[in-house]
Amino acid sequence: MQTWMRPHADGNEPDGIIPRDTSESWERHPADGMVGCSAAIREVLELVQRVAPTASTVLIQGETGTGKELVARAIHRASSRAEHPFVAINCAAITESLLESELFGHAKGAFTGAIAQKIGKIESATGGTLFLDEISELAAPMQAKLLRVLQEREVEPVGGTRSIKVDVRILAATNRNLEAEVRAGRFREDLFFRLNVLNITTPPLRERLEDVPLLAESFVMKVSKKYNVPVKALSAQAHALMMDYDWPGNVRELENAIERAVVLGDADEIVPEDLPKSIREAPASEPDAGYYCAIKHSKRQLIVRALGQANGHYIEAAKILGLHPNSLLRLIRNLGLKASARELPAS
């Protein structure tokens, strides 16, 4: 099945993965904003559809910039809570002293400056979903208070005299290995187990490079609309450089690079000179970057297409390509396409 992008009904930027069949019929995918066709992103989307109808807590793990909040929003939209609030809070962006009030609320006069009662984020998300980003940054006292919320489904505002029952689904995200944080004594083990009921890992962009062209196109459209400028195509040279880059900042870095190119570029298309220096000057895998990057990209496309036809099984894909399975296996590993294949033998 091919994957295509379409705009929102109001003409805004692309809203996600849209299966297209030969009859040209469209079906809206719940994971709006998530763009791609790789096996890695399809696996995430499948997990979103499976966990969304449940009431279970979900822990979303992945590197910075891989779209963890997009996954959380997709889960909320596809759940029975979709008509109720989605409340997000970044645990690393607020000081510990303020975070307790933000999450749990406070009573009037609870502390200096508390001139009125305040409803906390948890209570305001009742009936809906609370998304706690950077959950690993919670201080120990806050971890204990959150554990009580998960266990008792109630909150006690700062300075309050009674507990308030809440009906809220909690989704948490982190770019750290929480199991390692538990072993190091920085994160409560009981809270980890309460959060890690269901688990989704967002793949880094270097493991889904075949999604770069689709993502780049969606960001070009988004930025062009934002600044009211013509939509630009991606030149072959810029495309080759982007496919040969490992994107340490992931999708967020790609979006920033495209915005820079659209805003600062003078040509009718995006050329290498429009891209950030980090991408232009990244070490090339071969001496003639332009030619060999194009060759590498062509190999990737052929292999990804074959793996898609073979449902990720490399032996069947090798038959499609007319290659020996061992030869295809080496190519898959050399081109960083392990995430697109299944049942790979151990290295």
Q: What is the pLDDT of residues 107-158, one digit of tens each?
A: 776 666 666 778 889 999 999 999 999 999 999 999 999 999 999 999 888 8
Task: Provide the token pair at 132.
Answer: 């706690």
Residue-wise pLDDT tens digits, 223-282: 999 999 999 999 999 998 999 898 999 999 999 999 999 999 988 999 999 999 889 887
> In angstroms, rounded to a whole number, what is the distance separating the alpha carbons of residues 70 and 205?
15
- 286-317 core/surface letters (b: 16 or more CB in 10 A; e: else): eeebeeebbebbeebeebbbbbbebebebeeb
Task: Give the architecture (CATH level 2) of 206-340.
Answer: Orthogonal Bundle (1.10)
Instruction: Pick the closest to residue 12 from 315, 218, 308 (CA basis).
Output: 218
Does 206-340 match 39-202 at the fold level?
Answer: no
Rounded to the nearest integer, the mean pLDDT of the chain is: 83
Instruction: Pick the closest to residue 41 from 196, 257, 171, 201 (CA basis).
Output: 201
Domain residue spans in the chain?
39-202, 206-340
Query: Would you say how long the chain is, in residues?
Result: 347
At position 260, the amino acid (one-letter code) is R
Place of tokens 């459209």: 221
Task: Give the architecture (CATH level 2) of 39-202.
Answer: 3-Layer(aba) Sandwich (3.40)
Going by pLDDT thresholds of 50, 70 and 90, the confidence category of residue 186 is very high
**Average pLDDT for residues 190-194, to the nearest whole number?**
97
